[in-house]
Structure 1
Amino acid sequence: MSLWTKKSIDQARADGDGDEGQPTLARSLNAWNLTALGIGAIVGAGIFVLTGSAAAQYAGPGIVLSFVLAATACLFAGLCYAEFAAMVPVAGSAYTYAYVTVGQFLAWIIGWDLALEYLFASGTVAVGWSGYFVNLLKQVGLVIPPALTSAPLTVKNGFHFETTGALLNLPAVVLVGVITVLLYLGIRNSARVNGFIVLLKLLVVFLVIGFGLFYVVPAHWSPLIPPEVVDDKGSHYGWSGVLRGAGVIFFAYIGFDAVSTTAQEAVRPQRDMPIGILGSLIFCTVLYILMSLVLTGLVPYADLNVAHPVVVAIEAVQQLHWLALPVDIGAVAGLTTVMLVMMLGQSRVLFAMSRDKLLPSPLGKVHPKFRTPHVATVVTGVCAAVLAGLFPIDILGELVSIGTLLAFAIVCGCVLILRITQPDTPRPFKTPLFWLVCPLGVLVCGYLMYGLPGDTWLRLIIWMVFGFFVYFGYSRRRAA
């Protein structure tokens, strides 16, 4: 089989359904479920975890501009994802879109990249969740030993691993286990749990923004872009810091990408996928910008370099102390839905790649009762638990961002290619001004990738080289 063998759109749909007589994924998600999945994934790590560290280490108050930059790239990519998800409503997301556009080899590259994106996203969020959960327990008088709440490994100078003395981030591992069980038992129940928790965390976010705006100190926003500083860890602040901050917090937007992996479980994907993808993206962008303004206005940005920056910000204002407990509850609940959607997305990508014979066949099996890809779900849970239990949040976050940006750039390029090569294919949703939006999406994503540090690029290259060995040593022969 050629490296560039492509699927037709009809074949992609048929392969997604599997063999006749075998159980298939249940179509039970409506427009609200899809939008809630997007919000559930997007509103979480960006607000409750990464905004603080990105502002403190890279952008300062200019983190607001970082969110605008990231949102611009997301809008371009979101329009392209919406077109593909309505046209090819199967589980593989960007992997399947690449398969029908540019062939098997590039599809493998994007599928392998999505594994990096979703697995490391799950680890990042679980580590952030653990920080908020431990803080919540402290407020009710319960203390978990630090050796069981921290990563046992840290990274110095890009690739030098050192031990921290901790044993395991136990809360993060437990969370992964609980979500794995929930996803195993069915998409309908998972969507219901997600919808309830989304409403809860939005209430908390509205409380912080609404009350926090009354206590911001405008002086904390000056200068908006702090002068650039260069040290042994690289460049911080200045415009380069804003750019790097955008690359880091871009991780916060991967929710709409995960929505597209559930297209095969949507009742009316041609109509509802664009609603879920674009609706969640636009709504959450506004929330991110407002929240970053409030956080950097309540305290000096340097104070936000912690795992739970929202709590630090509101505890700095006496009148807002009452919000500490609701914020911890909202963060614990909110980050739970992010984990749920990331692990949901990863299992569906593994499922799609297995159906195409690029991964072992058990990953493509559907549970006869729960109608979920149960083997792929368990494998996802095990991998996410290892990452969450052993690694710190900073290395995980930057790896997720570069993987996400690569996926978005490829999808934007694929929409442009397919518009040229298959102009008459029915498209329930069309990207407006595709001749402008698609190239801009590729360029903006590439620009944000350029702003990420060299060691992150090197880790991506190592991951991809490992993927090439897997493809040429196993996947290509099995697919043939």
Structure 2
Amino acid sequence: MFHKTLFGRKQEFVNFYLKLCLSKALWERNAQNLFLTYKVIYVRILDLIREVLLKALERKLGLLSVVAISISAMLGSGIFVLPSLAIAQTGPSVWLAYLLASLCVLPASMSKSELATAMPTSGGTYVYLERTFGPLAGTVAGLGLWLSLLLKAAFALVGFGAYLTILADVPLITTAIISLLLITILNIFGVGKVSSALMVVVAIAITSLMALSGISIPVLDKDLMTPFMTGGFSGLMSSTALVFVSYAGVTKVAAIAEEIKSPEKNLPRGILLSLLLVTIIYCVTTFTLVGSVPSSELIGNYRPLYTMAQTVGGKGFAIFISIIGILTMISMANAGILASSRFPFAMGRDRLLPGAIGTLHKKYLTPVWSILLSSIIVAATILFMDVTKIAKLASGFMLLIYVFENIAVIVLREMRVQWYRPQFKSPMYPFLQILGILSGVGLLFGMGFIIVTAILVISIPGVALFLAYSRKRTTRRGVLGIRGKRSDLVDENVSLTNFYESIDLTKDAKVVVSLFGNERSPETLIQMAAAMSEGENLEVAHFTEVPEQTELKDLNTETVYLRSLRRRIIAMSVEQNIPITFDPIASHDISRSVFEISQRLHCLWLFKEWGGKKRGNFTVHNPVGWLRNHLQCNLAIFRDAGVRYIRKVLVIVNNNCDYELVVDTADHFATMNKASLDLVKIFKEKTPKNVLDEAQNRLASMCERTKVLSKSRVLISNKPVEDIIQLTAEYDLFVFGASNHSFIKDVIGSDDDRLIAGASCSVISVQSSQIIHEGRS
């Protein structure tokens, strides 16, 4: 493997060797310069070899590593401190609260696994949400994620202080603040990463908790477990929301998806296994806790497992459990400061926060200002908030983020984002995501007014920060911004800039064909468009959508698919003597690109293939759906049914379209293929006879104007879509006028989509620019 990798870098070695040979010719002129040249070459070769060796020896994380990392991110204050707070709200049913919280985490776990395999190097939840919802949502989400991790770190430090008081008589708050100061210094100096020893601590913690539960089972007292729910159902739900933070670390492993071997398999499996194991540990531990220690001794007790261990195993065992708790919570607090400081750092680099926060210290190479700011907030939380509020706020923020992660998966799938190609797809989509959204919102309401206040405290400063500072420094809009309402494209004063130098804008095209890479048969679509161009210029544009964070100039390599497509289009142009221009276009914004190319080339027609409902989607949204009602040219949407010989053409004439354009289009295709033409208009039953006669006369006059043999008829039906679909079995091409696009039709599906999907023959849906203009006026 090393030999192959080294061989792949041979060009760099050749370049250095040529420099070396050229330097020999200058030996007598400047020996000192030659020596320096040799030294530079030698150092560079060593760097190359070192780089190759590091790549060759790079280890991929397997399933066990994923499970270990995920568990290590969960165990801590969530089990060593939090049960006492949850018992105060629900009593002995605390184990059920942990179980319900685990079930609520499951949808977000699957959603984040999908997002991570689609964006493995994106940097976590902040960027997932920023890419999906735009920089405004990214700013608010970044602040929320940052504070949730800080609150969790503060909670861990309070728990650390509580257990430390067992070993030494020290004040809790002072101990937590001193520990925070030491952690801050460690992070600034760049030694804040958790070593492999943490894995050993986690293994010991798991074993100790299982042993603690095991020795507690024989002494369980059923009387201590009644009444089961002291706070009723509302208390159980409030407790479930409170302990939700215990599972917050389950998805942290998704941030290193690019280091996991076979992430499409090992990431979701690892998350599921770790979630299952930790759920068992939490539920069994809390079940034995309430069965061995009276609830009155646990409420307000910040070291419940010490009390439990002392009750069932004696003083020595209790001290051992305390030491394990201290180690796990101090490592969790350290990891919390380390991870949380990266959110404002990333936002600073994205220009959503002042640039100083997004810079590294020149000597220590750590985000010093971000770390200091994070530590100050943790200190303020410890000093001025009680433990229950800290836990509630941390859980509330994580619940909110998990809700939006589930929404993000739905948005990215349904918006048909080209670059969104996850290696792992969440099962039971979209029901699992909808369950996660509903359960998360329900738990948020169950937490009471405090979480509503907290959300406002985060949202209002986040929105204000974006409007006052960030908005002027970023041009990104996110997927929703790009796919949503585009006033920037219909403004008459808009300047169509930032276009594509590769396209000859001085040469108009009568017809433009837009390809998006998923067409069933691009050649057939181009042939249909060529029939409408009538020998005039035909522009074929292939659009590739890339994330906004990717520079378009970096995409300078044409894919194998595009090379093959270019070759086939050139062959078609030569064989059929059609003037075709092919241009591959990489764009952050497909809607804008399609709009601009149709404007700049002054085309009469825009052809595209029908982007109907795809597998794994529950809406029929397409990338340029909104533009259907705003393009300044006629739009033809084509579905190829594999028909190669067109002999009979069916036209449905309705009052909601430019029927003259529809008939002329169908007549044109019939003429090109020497086919017959049938004009049909549908009426409901009980339509007055004079209306039917008038329609028949109008159809007859249309038939007289067609270039091919045509006939007409009136069809009576109360189920027009079903009857038209049955009628298409007799024809080779079906042409009809499209209805106007709307968001509701995208979600539930329109009659147009049902006709196109159900027709037995090939279909062309025609939409006139004239109708669009009338609709807008």
Deviation at 1:285, TM superposition (A): 1.2
Q: Is the aligned partner of 1:308 residue 2:340?
A: no
Partner of 2:77: 45
CA distance in 1, matches of 2:305, 2:108: 29
Residue of structure 2 aligned with 1:392, choices 383, 386, 392: 386
Shift of 1:406: 0.3
Partner SS, residue 430 of structure 2? helix
2:117: which partner in 1?
A: 86
Q: How does 1:442-461 map to 2 (within 5 A)?
A: 442-461=437-456
Provide the identity percentage. Answer: 25
- For residue 214 of structure 2, the aligned residue among 197, 200, 210 is 210
Cα distance, 1:112 vs structure 2: 1.7
Among 411, 415, 424, the alignment partner of 1:429 is: 424
Unaligned runs of 5+ in 1: 1-25, 138-142, 150-168, 227-236
Alignment pair present for 1:353 and 2:347: yes
Indicate conservation of the 8 Å contact 1:251/1:397, yes or no: yes
Q: Which residue of 2 aligns with 1:71?
A: 102
Give the corresponding residue for 2:410.
416
Which protein is bigger by CA-based radius of gyration? 2
Aligned ranges for residues 194-205 of structure 1 at < 5 Å? 194-205=198-209
Partner of 2:227: helix, strand, or coil?
Answer: coil
Choose the corresponding residue for 1:379, options 373, 376, 384: 373
**Given that residues 109 and 467 in structure 1 are in contact (C-alpha distance below 8 angstroms), is that contact kept between their aligned partners in structure 2?**
yes
Structure 1 residues 84 and 60: CA distance shift in structure 2, 3 A: same
Q: 1:465 to 1:188 in 2, by over 3 A?
A: closer
Is the 2:166–2:319 Cα contact (8 Å) retained in structure 1? no
The alignment status of 1:172 with 2:167, answered yes or no, reads no
CA distance, structure 1, for counterparts of residue 68 and residue 370 of structure 2 = 23
Please say if 1:36 is aligned against 2:64.
no
8 Å CA contact 1:350–1:376 kept in 2: the answer is yes
Once the two structures are TM-superposed, the CA of residue 277 in structure 1 deviates from its matched residue by 3.7
Instruction: Verify the 8 A CA contact 1:216 1:294 in the aligned structure 2.
Output: yes
Q: Distance in 1 between matches of 2:164 and 2:408?
A: 41
More strand by share: 2
SS of the aligned residue for 1:254 comes to helix
Structural mapping, 1:158-169, within 5 Å: 169=173
Shift in Å, 1:49:
0.5
Q: 1:374 to 1:286 in 2, by over 3 A?
A: farther
- 5 Å matches for 1:283-298? 283-298=277-292
**Could you tell which deviates more after superposition, 429-438 or 402-411?**
429-438
The equivalent of 1:258 in structure 2 is 252
After superposition, residues 354-369 of structure 1 pair within 5 angstroms as 354-366=348-360
The answer on 1:336 being equivalent to 2:368 is no
| TM-score for the superposition, normalised by structure 2 | 0.50
Note the C-alpha offset of 1:350.
Answer: 2.1
Q: Which residue of 142, 145, 166 maps to 1:111? A: 142
Q: Relative to structure 1, is the Cα distance of residues 91 and 378 closer, same or farther in structure 2, using a 3 angstrom cutoff? A: farther
The alpha-carbon distance between structure 1 residues 211 and 322, as it changes in their structure 2 partners (threshold 3 A), is farther
1:17 corresponds to? none
Aligned residue identity for 1:200: I
In the alignment, which residue of structure 2 is the partner of 1:163?
none
Give the one of 241, 257, 282 matched to 1:247. Answer: 241
> Which range moves more in the overlay, 461-470 or 391-400?
461-470
Task: State the structure with bigger RCO (CA 8 A, min sep 6), 1 or 2.
Answer: 1
Let me know the Cα RMSD of the aligned residues: 2.7
CA–CA separation in structure 1 for the residues paired with 2:209 and 2:255: 27
Contact 1:255–1:341 (CA<8 Å) still a contact in 2? no
Aligned residues: 415
Asked if the contact 2:77–2:156 (Cα under 8 Å) also holds between the matched residues in 1, the reply is yes
TM-score normalised by L of structure 1: 0.79
How do 1:259-278 residues align onto structure 2 when only pairs under 5 Å count? 259-262=253-256, 266=259, 270=263, 273-274=267-268, 277-278=271-272
- Measured in 2, the distance between the counterparts of 1:188 and 1:118 equals 16
Q: CA deviation at 1:278?
A: 3.5
Q: CA deviation at 1:459?
A: 2.9
Conserved? CA contact 2:160–2:176, under 8 Å:
yes
**1:125-178 residue CA offsets vs partner (Å, 9 max, x unmatched):** 1111110111122xxxxx22x4xx2xxxxxxxxxxxxxxxxxxx1211222233
Task: Work out whether 1:98 is the aligned partner of 2:129.
Answer: yes
Structure having the higher helix fraction is 1
Contact 1:363 1:375 in 2 (8 A): yes
